[in-house]
Amino acid sequence: MASLSRIEVETDPVLRLYLDPLHPRTRLPRQCPQRHRVQHQDSGGAGATSGAAFTRRLKVPLNKNQGGYASIYLVTGEITASGAGADDIYYQKNDSGQLELRFNTATAILADRNSSIGKEECTQAIATSPTAEPLRRLAKGTLICATGRDGGVALLQILEQPDQSGTLPLMETYWAP
């Protein structure tokens, strides 16, 4: 039976976190920039089981107070303004002022924009076509497969180009190992 219950935690009028109380990895971020919004929806059933899929809509802000840097943690959906090297993906402005995503885990950028791609296709893409280059073309519909620090696999889709403030909307589907 799927769990649709959520706890809404408001720690700031602008900051809202939606957490699944049954998911063992649910925890409050150590540090969150203002205007950070994470929605965690359990689409894989109650509790965390091996291979379960979780879908999250992420809004990744370009934190201008921290040098234009945001860390993305795939396993939890956490976004912080710090964590260089410990994060899975980071979003920043490069030296020439262009927005980009950089990757600290095995990653593949998919040419196909079919959002129905599953865990097996992502795992195969990472194994056969990994990339070490940053992604600078942040176009709507771009699909990214990446591994999480726990060995799971994520499919990220860019929902829209970054807005004027630099916020990048993503949809993440994460398959636990």
The two tokens of residue 23 are: 């998911």
- Do residues 123 and 139 touch, judged by C-beta distance below 8 A? no
State the sign of the Cα–Cα–Cα–Cα dihedral 64, 79, 162, 145: positive
User: Whole-model pTM?
Assistant: 0.70
What is the C-alpha to C-alpha distance for residues 46 and 74, in angstroms, rounded to an integer? Answer: 20
Domain ranges of the chain: 7-175
What is the C-alpha to C-alpha distance for residues 89 and 152, in angstroms, rounded to an integer? Answer: 14
- Do residues 100 and 92 touch, judged by C-beta distance below 8 A? yes
Q: Of 28-32, 135-139, 154-158, where does mean pLDDT reach its minimum? A: 28-32
Cross-strand bridge partners of residue 156 = 144, 172
Question: Which amino acid, residue 152?
Answer: G
Confidence tier at 84 by pLDDT (50, 70, 90): low
The pLDDT tens digits for 52-67 are 788 999 999 887 766 6
CB atoms within 10 A of CB 13: 7
